Structure 1
Amino acid sequence: MADLSLSLTQQTPGDSAAIERLDERAFGPGRFARSAYRLREGVEPDYALSFVARVGTLLVGANRMTTIRCGQALALLLGPLTVDPAFRSGGIGEALVQKSLEAAREAGHTLVLLVGDLPYYERMGFQPVPPGQITFIGPVDPDRLLYCELVEGALAAVGGRVRRVRAR
């Protein structure tokens, strides 16, 4: 009998095609127009902080973390967080986010941003960015721009326009 237990492992470049198919099923083609997707264009995720969820060998969830610049400070952008529709409401998304936050904290990062629903992400430590403190590229509902401090006071050191950080 096949092992159908859930496993969370670090993402690798080899997971990209399966993640792309998962994102397509979950979000459709309109995802590319979203501001957060535009910010991640052409930038590889930080694989040490990005994880996939598998049930047996089937990839059922993924979460990426990408380095961004907020004004002069560096931060992380969480997302997309994707869980296969057949596996939602099972805690997979929350487990992926917690794993990424833990890895980011251990790696010395101080702040994580995302664009998402406060009722979902609040239980993982996210809260709304104060109005006007951070300017996101493209249109973003300010109520959906959230942050999680990995080090207390990290948001106070950040402000200004969010930009992508190109790989060297």
Structure 2
Amino acid sequence: MTLIRRERDGDRDAVHALHTAAFAGLPHASGGEADLVDALRGTAAWDPRHSLVAEVDGEAAGHVLSTYGTVGEARVLGLGPIGVDPALHRRGIGSALMHAALAAADACGEPAVILLGDPAFYGRFGFVPAADHGVVPEHPEWGPYFQIRTLSAWDEGLRGTFAYAPPFSEFG
């Protein structure tokens, strides 16, 4: 059984190891995903309500993080990284983390969650091209991979360029 819960202080090493393993050798990975999570802790972008751990048999099996970026002056969540222990792939852990991250964001009154990823994969979670809602990436080459999932508190007036938290430019 998979339990999704907030990250605890004692999870840091396990979360780091999870992201290191989850992104090892992937063509789209920067290799800095684990260091990015560490760098985001303690910044203004970090909110512990949006750092979630998947636990299987009492052990950390996956992690998802959403941190605050901006669209103009508005704070908007950017999701990522999300990683699952490669030995536990295809068990629904990543999907459970994604659903929990979206539910947590909606419950906290966030207007949207933004991510950079494969539209064919993230579309099943309700993500669409962010440009459809007037939100564009800092890097135009991200094109259709830059996506948004609007939530209950979405405001159609929220438009502009999304900027990830500063550590993303160093590690992302």
Normalised-by-shorter TM-score class: 0.7 to 0.9
What secondary structure is seen at the aligned counterpart in 2 of 1:31? coil
TM-score (norm 2): 0.78
- Counterparts in 2 of 1:71-86, with a 5 A limit? 71-86=72-87
Contact 2:109 2:153 survives alignment (8 Å): no
- Counterparts in 2 of 1:41-56, with a 5 A limit? 42-44=39-41, 45-56=46-57
Contact 1:61 1:93 survives alignment (8 Å): yes
Q: 1:68 to 1:54 in 2, by over 3 A?
A: same
**Aligned-partner Cα distance in 2 for 1:142–1:23:** 25
Q: Where in structure 1 are there 5+ consecutive unaligned residues?
A: none
**Aligned-partner Cα distance in 2 for 1:92–1:65:** 17
Q: 1:47 to 1:96 in 2, by over 3 A?
A: same
Match of 2:4 among 1, 4, 8: 8
Q: 1:64 to 1:163 in 2, by over 3 A?
A: closer
Which residue number corresponds to residue 16 of structure 2?
A: 20
- Counterparts in 2 of 1:91-110, with a 5 A limit? 91-110=92-111
* Matching of residue 30 in structure 1 with residue 27 in structure 2: no
**Aligned-partner Cα distance in 1 for 2:16–2:111:** 28
What secondary structure is seen at the aligned counterpart in 2 of 1:17? helix
The percent identity for this pair of structures is 29
Contact 1:111 1:154 survives alignment (8 Å): no
Q: Where in structure 2 are there 5+ consecutive unaligned residues?
A: 168-172
* Letter aligned with residue 72 of structure 2: G
**Aligned-partner Cα distance in 2 for 1:163–1:123:** 23
Which residue number corresponds to residue 151 of structure 2?
A: 150
What secondary structure is seen at the aligned counterpart in 2 of 1:157? coil
**Residue 153 of structure 1, CA deviation:** 4.7
Which residue number corresponds to residue 57 of structure 1?
A: 58
Count of residues paired in the alignment? 157
Which residue number corresponds to residue 114 of structure 1?
A: 115
Q: Deviations over 1:102-128 (max 9, x none)?
A: 111111111110111111111111111
